[in-house]
Amino acid sequence: MMKAKVDLEKIVACCGDLLERIHKTSVGEFKLEYTLYNIVAFKLFGYALNTFKSIYYLLPHTVYEQASVLYRTIWETGVNLEWIAIDPEVRAERFLGFTAVEYRRFLEGRLRTARRAKDTDAILALTRQLAAFQQAVEQQLAQFSFRDKAGRKRTHTRFSAPSLEAIVHEVGGEWIDEYDRDYSLSCMYTHGAPGAVLFPLYDTPDHEIDRGRSAERAGIIGASGIEVMGRIYHRWLATRGMEDDAFLRELWLRVQGANSA
């Protein structure tokens, strides 16, 4: 994530140019081999693209806090795609398989709600539905089960490694520094943490200065979003045997040129 002052208008223009380029190369009909990895990569790319669009829409309003929440989303989407790409078919299958764990959690949550409401009909129906679902996907669920130190059966909270940090270190590169610095900060904004809500506390009541600082922070988030979306775009093109590296290099030079410090 860029740390110097940036020109927000130039960053917004770069975001728009990246979106336009992606739409020219990746939106519409195209041939793609029907594999699990290609399906997962396509869906992750589309999810990231919509997230990046949302950041782009927020930037002119200088609401950097909310843009930071979306930065966290696009960043985690990107690192998941990179982790899957290391062993594409095996990890794509694991990504798809984890939906069984997520749906079971959803049913368990509904069952807890019914029990709190003492709704006996709902309790009975959901208990049966949960049992039938677990029986139908038992093998699928088993790959995410483990025993804790006390011997109790547990389920992994992620589809990949035991923690996001573990997969970040496996992926390596710039993802590690971004995890320690940018991702951690964006999590504070996501959860409404005290440090995100209360700071910065400006030493002046001047609203012009306040607006200027918000624009600067929005520019930083925009530049960081471009960097991550560029990597996701690069990975997506690679699944199709394509590249657009010259454009991405030129775009990043323009982003760096928006540094007004």
pLDDT at 151: 72
**Taking the CB of residue 250, how many other CB atoms lie within 10 A of it?**
10
Q: Provide the residue type at 19 as one letter.
A: L
Range of the domain at 144: 96-155
Tell me: the pLDDT tens digits for 176-216? 999 999 999 999 999 999 888 887 655 555 555 567 788 99
Higher-confidence residue of 95 and 200: namely 95
Same domain, 246 and 168: yes
Same domain, 150 and 225: no
Report residue 226: phi and psi, to 5°: -60, -45
Same domain, 116 and 244: no
Higher-confidence residue of 198 and 128: namely 128
Higher-confidence residue of 248 and 28: namely 248
Mean of all residue pLDDT scores within the chain: 89
Cα-to-chain-centroid distance, residue 193: 19
Same domain, 138 and 252: no
pLDDT at 145: 73
Question: Is 2 within a domain?
Answer: no
Tell me: the pLDDT tens digits for 29-70? 777 788 999 999 999 999 999 999 999 999 999 999 999 999
Neighbouring residues of 19: CB distance < 8 A, sequence distance ≥ 6: 49, 52, 53, 56
Same domain, 74 and 116: no
pLDDT at 247: 97
In the predicted structure, residue 224 carries a pLDDT above the cut 90: yes
pLDDT at 206: 55
Same domain, 68 and 165: yes
Report residue 60: phi and psi, to 5°: -60, -20
The model's confidence at residue 159, banded by pLDDT at 50, 70 and 90, is low
Q: In the predicted model, what is the mean pLDDT of residues 2-15?
A: 83
- Cβ distance 11 to 222 under 8 Å? yes
Report residue 62: phi and psi, to 5°: 55, 25
Query: Which percentage of the chain shows pLDDT scores above 90?
Result: 68
Per the structure, the count of domains in the chain is 2
In the predicted structure, residue 2 carries a pLDDT above the cut 80: no
Among 11-20, 137-146, 152-161, the range of highest mean pLDDT = 11-20
In the predicted structure, residue 171 carries a pLDDT above the cut 60: yes
CA distance 58 to 67: 6
Same domain, 77 and 179: yes
CA distance 23 to 261: 32
Same domain, 142 and 243: no
Q: In the predicted model, what is the mean pLDDT of residues 234-253?
A: 95
Q: In the predicted model, what is the mean pLDDT of residues 92-101?
A: 89
pLDDT at 181: 93
Cα-to-chain-centroid distance, residue 217: 20
CA distances from 16 to 21, 55, 177, 247 (A): 9, 11, 26, 14
